Amino acid sequence: MKKYLLLFIIAVFAMSCSKKVEVKGKITGGSPLERIEFIEASGVATLPLINIGVNKDGTFAGSFDAPKSGMYVISYGGKQNLIYLKGGQKLEISGNGMTFPSEYVITGDAKKNNDFFTATQKYLSNYAQTVNMNELIMKDEKTFLKGIEKVQADVNKNIDESAKKFNPDNEVIAWKKNDLSSTLLTIMNQYDITHKQMGNPSFKVTKTFTDFENKLQENKEVMVKENPFYRQYLLGKMSPDFQKYAEANSKGKTDITTSELFTEYLKKNQKDLSQTAKDYLLAFVMAQSDIHPGSPDKTVEKIKKIIDTDIKDATIKEDLKKIQFAINGFKIGEQAPEASLAKQDGKAYKLSENKGKPYLLSFYASWNPYIGEATIPVLKEVVNFYKSKMNFVYVNVDDTKDQFIKTSNSLLKGITGVNVYGDGGLNSDIAKKYGVYGFKLPCFIVVDKDGKIASKPFFNLGDPELVTVLDKQTGLSAPKVDPRMQMQQMQPGMDPAAAAPQQVPPTATPQPAQTK
């Protein structure tokens, strides 16, 4: 009996520690071409945890591992909103295609926390209309602090009243109050900066001001982990000092990166800052400044070294490595990894079947709007020009094999090459190995005759750098394109730096400073 009781306890414990979030719902009037994504809001440089397709009737379903309990960004149709999730929950969410996810209805395990969150957000939106923060910032310090304290008291009162009404988990209430503190700190920093810029560079706030700032940061170790807005506040406080440091230490160094300078600055000028805070702030600076598609190989290697040596938090380190790989791809010369692929007839396909001849690996999906309207005509030209000297492999990452067959038959009919499917779409073996996400589609990678990576990921077939790589691999010389025609071939909205997940999701607390 004791044995079975122990097994039962272990089973219950395993369930309670589950990170899995099961999602299902319906978007009335939703489009099958739109996708739903969830991204961890408190992370740094985090990538989508899942990309869910919407069926013709508006229904959708999926599951993903939530790294931790907290705020997540849900996106659909170019719109975003925040939602509080916990591992082990079953999330049932619905809305209208015109307003989702700006507005949504939740049932199931996540209801009480998000009803609380929605209610406090609605109050803040209305409250912001009653406060002229720009005017308050121009007041003397005593009047300003009195106004800030009133904002804090009013909003906290609403948080407490909403907590009694909806009975959310304690951590959601704590998150909300910390988010409020982060917003108030940012406004206070703006007050300091504004008064220094008003012809008085030596302006200093009083001890009363700094004491209030410190009180708002009593939970700073939690805040720096959970709230991107608090990290922005810390960076804002450091900005003038870092600017001076960067100017003094970058003279004559033409290739030094912002990340390198900030790493040095943290070590020399911010010795009292916790390692946790340093990790989050450095990660933010790297993601914003030096991890993007245009990064030279030398910069990519420098950032890799900083991630390995200066970031101590294992989760942040892993997140940064993932997004750097997603944006910058493999190192040139690495062996192109094999992955599970299948042809339309179900037979397995190996990329190594191309050995002895270079090939262009193309990732696409039916729901990506750019694959049909802009890419296919250019793809036909590229294939026709280079097909005598190289192969072409088209990897479909749709949700189902049936959709793969329909898409490849319609879009790629008559185009030379091999059509294959990654079972599971964006969750497939090949998508994971090659760092393929929704914001990267369509994506093109050149592999040489020895099966080694010969290019970074490209998102525009007309990119002159891609043409240079193709020429080198084939020995051919493509005709030069008129720059004006080149611009016409550019695919709208396909800058992965802009399309990639936000490095700092929008704060859940609207700033009263923005409205009157």
148-199 pLDDT, tens digit each: 999 999 999 999 999 999 999 999 999 999 999 999 999 999 999 999 988 7
Q: Is the pLDDT of residue 387 over 70?
A: yes
Confidence of residue 409 (pLDDT cuts 50, 70, 90): very high
**291 token code pair:** 């991890």
Confidence of residue 27 (pLDDT cuts 50, 70, 90): very high
* Residue 28: predicted pLDDT: 96
C-alpha 23: how far from chain center: 20
Confidence of residue 18 (pLDDT cuts 50, 70, 90): low
Confidence of residue 513 (pLDDT cuts 50, 70, 90): very low
pTM here is: 0.87
**Which of 462, 482, 265, 257 minimizes the C-alpha distance to 370?**
462
Its CATH architecture, for the domain 341-498, is 3-Layer(aba) Sandwich (3.40)
Q: Is the pLDDT of residue 389 over 90?
A: yes
* Residue 14: predicted pLDDT: 36
The rounded distance, in Å, linking the Cα atoms of 385 and 388 is: 8
* Residue 370: predicted pLDDT: 81
**445 token code pair:** 């990678």
Average pLDDT over the chain reads: 89
Q: Taking residues 425-436, what's their average pLDDT?
A: 96
The rounded distance, in Å, linking the Cα atoms of 241 and 195 is: 17
Higher pLDDT, 122 or 4: 122
Q: Is the pLDDT of residue 137 over 90?
A: yes
The rounded distance, in Å, linking the Cα atoms of 463 and 329 is: 16
- The answer to whether 203 and 195 are in contact (CB under 8 A) is yes
Q: What is the largest CA-CA distance in the chain?
A: 81
* Residue 495: predicted pLDDT: 46
Question: How do residues 323-338 score in pLDDT, each as one tens digit?
Answer: 999 999 999 999 999 9
18-109 to CATH, choices 2.60.40.1120, 1.10.238.10, 1.10.287.990, 2.40.128.260: 2.60.40.1120
Q: Is the pLDDT of residue 343 over 80?
A: yes
* Residue 304: predicted pLDDT: 97
**Which of 19, 43, 2 minimizes the C-alpha distance to 315?**
43
What is the percent of the chain with per-residue pLDDT over 90, rounded to a whole number?
Answer: 80
Q: Is the pLDDT of residue 490 over 60?
A: no
* Residue 33: predicted pLDDT: 85
Q: Is the pLDDT of residue 466 over 80?
A: yes
Q: Is the pLDDT of residue 7 over 50?
A: no
Q: Is the pLDDT of residue 493 over 90?
A: no
Q: Taking residues 262-270, what's their average pLDDT?
A: 97
* Residue 508: predicted pLDDT: 38
* Residue 13: predicted pLDDT: 37
**404 token code pair:** 């793969």
Query: Which of 58-67, 95-104, 292-301, 333-342 comes out lowest in average pLDDT?
Result: 292-301
Over 45-67, what HEC string results? CCCCCEEEECCCCCEEEEEEECC
* Residue 3: predicted pLDDT: 44
